[in-house]
Amino acid sequence: MKTHLALALGLAFSLSIAPAAAQKAPAASAAKPAATVKKTDTRVGTGKLAEAGKSVTVHYTGWLYSPKAPKGHGQQVDSSVGSEPFTFPLGAGRVIPGWDQGVAGMKVGGKRTLVIPGELGYGARGAGPIPPNANLIFDVELLDVK
């Protein structure tokens, strides 16, 4: 089975970075507003709702976000399209925080574009082809919810 870089590394990020970030959160949150994911539904689904505690299956393609590139799609960094879809427990911190925020609320059959700020992606450490503090953009299709 193909390893999906953007999501597989999310677990490593959440285990190694998140505790340190959480210790500094009160000072950081007082200084600036919390980061949020920009969500744009390109097709609204009609099936089961993706919510925390459920297992979700998706197809996705991710790029570095580049505002000057067409539709913001810079260099592609990962994709499940053409291979196995990716399944993860929504809201469990097993993927980058931007994914837990961005996929929640979708319905099966839906497609959504997520623009994820660096702090909700791979943060200051980056991962593989993803540089530190990189903003990301993902096109996600929700295939199943269990």
CATH placement of domain 38-145 = 3.10.50.40
Instruction: Provide the pLDDT for residue 64.
Output: 98
- Residues 26 and 123: beta-carbon distance below 8 Å: no
Structure confidence at residue 4 (pLDDT): 53
Given a cut of 50, the residues of the chain with pLDDT beneath it are: 1-3, 6-29
- How many angstroms separate the CA atoms of 64 and 116, rounded? 10
Q: What is the pLDDT of residue 31?
A: 67
Tell me 17's DSSP state: T
CA–CA distance, 128 with 25 (Å, rounded to integer): 26
- Residue 31's identity, in one-letter code, is A
**Whole-number pLDDT of residue 30:** 60
Displacement of CA 79 from its chain's centroid (Å):
12
Contacts with 100 (C-beta within 8 Å, 6 or more apart), sequence order = 52, 90, 91, 92, 93
pLDDT of amino acid 34:
84
**How far apart are the C-alpha atoms of 17 and 50, rounded to whole Å?**
26
